[in-house]
């Protein structure tokens, strides 16, 4: 699943293509025909990311809400638009670019009330300037749930996915199994600021890089991790432990990240 940096990067890239322009909105696949018809012909006034959600605002006050989920993807190109590839749920066409969205988990038109309801249920997004970390801290310190799960809960803190979760906790020497209520304030502050730093770097490079002072790797996605899917800890050389947490795999170094006492 794309993590928050992917969606913020998409917002930045697509702003140049669509904002301030009148869009022709269609649903080549047909599953979003009514919504597309409602938006088509209006000017797109803004594009913003909220955690893993992307919102395209339109002049009449409603917005197109997209959540890619596990399989969704964006495809962008300059005009003239080519034939849609695969099941394109929604096509946004400006005078200069075409944005195709395939397989999103959520694709809907929201009115102002719907927008408010959505943004109210999303936790503070580490990549947004208006994010209030106190809201995340209030939920974390009141919870018995592990910090590893809380960091993935988008209603607690938005934008962090499985790889960033694993890497940030290792960098800050906090074990994923530690209950939220046992986390101290200093550790929370360092987790928050590290998340801001790493996800901003992710937006810049369009890739997850959690190792300090490196550039993108030569792999397909250019990623660089410390312990995610690795065998040994780069800091202490111990074996990395892999386990399941809420059906997602998580990794830890039980030397650098001391496990909580049970």
Closer CB to Zn ion, 211 or 255, in the complex: 255
Q: Is 2 a catalytic residue?
A: yes
Residue 189 CB, nearest distance to Zn ion (Å)? Answer: 22
Q: For helices 185-205 and 133-141, what crossing angle results, to 10°?
A: 130
From 31, 141, 242, 248, active-site residue: 248
Residue 225 CB, nearest distance to Zn ion (Å)? Answer: 14
Name the residues that contact Zn ion, by CB under 5 A: 233, 235-236, 253, 255-256
From 9, 52, 171, 224, active-site residue: 52
Q: Is 179 a catalytic residue?
A: no
Nearest residue to Zn ion, using CB? 233
CA distance 129 to 242: 34
Closer CB to Zn ion, 60 or 236, in the complex: 236
Q: Is 242 a catalytic residue?
A: no
Residue 20 CB, nearest distance to Zn ion (Å)? Answer: 50
Query: What's the distance, CA 121 to chain centroid?
Result: 15
Residue 50 Rama label (left phi>0; alpha psi -120 to 50; beta): beta
**Cα separations in angstroms, 121 against 75, 114, 157:** 28, 11, 10
Q: Determine whether 177 is exposed, middle or buried from the number of CB atoms within 10 Å of its CB (0-12, 13-18, 19+).
A: buried
Q: Which are the contacts of 178, defined by CB distance < 8 A and separation ≥ 6?
A: 146, 147, 148, 260
Residue 168 CB, nearest distance to Zn ion (Å)? Answer: 15
CA distance 262 to 255: 17
CA distance 90 to 33: 8
Q: Which residues are catalytic?
A: 2-3, 52, 248
């Amino acid at each position: 699943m794309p993590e928050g940096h992917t969606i913020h990067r998409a917002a930045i890239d697509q702003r140049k293509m669509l904002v301030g322009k009148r869009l022709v909105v269609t649903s080549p696949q047909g599953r979003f025909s009514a919504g597309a018809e409602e938006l088509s012909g209006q000017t797109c006034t803004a594009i913003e990311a909220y955690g893993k959600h992307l919102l395209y605002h339109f002049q009449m006050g409603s917005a197109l809400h997209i959540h890619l989920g596990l399989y969704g993807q964006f495809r962008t190109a300059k005009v003239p638009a080519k034939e849609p590839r695969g099941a394109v749920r929604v096509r946004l066409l400006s005078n200069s670019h075409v944005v195709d969205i395939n397989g999103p988990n959520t694709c809907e038109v929201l009115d102002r009330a719907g927008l408010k309801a959505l943004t109210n249920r999303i936790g503070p997004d580490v990549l947004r300037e208006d994010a209030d970390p106190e809201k995340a801290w209030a939920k974390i310190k009141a919870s018995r749930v592990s910090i590893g799960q809380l960091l993935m809960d988008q209603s607690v803190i938005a934008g962090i996915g499985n790889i960033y979760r694993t890497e940030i906790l290792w960098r800050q020497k906090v074990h994923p199994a530690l209950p939220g209520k046992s986390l101290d304030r200093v550790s929370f502050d360092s987790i928050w600021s590290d998340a801001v730093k790493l996800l901003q770097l992710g937006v810049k490079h369009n890739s997850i890089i959690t190792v300090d002072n490196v550039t993108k790797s030569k792999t397909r996605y250019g990623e660089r991790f410390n312990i995610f899917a690795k065998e040994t800890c780069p800091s202490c050389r111990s074996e990395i432990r892999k386990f399941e947490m809420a059906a997602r795999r998580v990794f830890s170094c039980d030397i650098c990240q001391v496990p909580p006492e049970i």
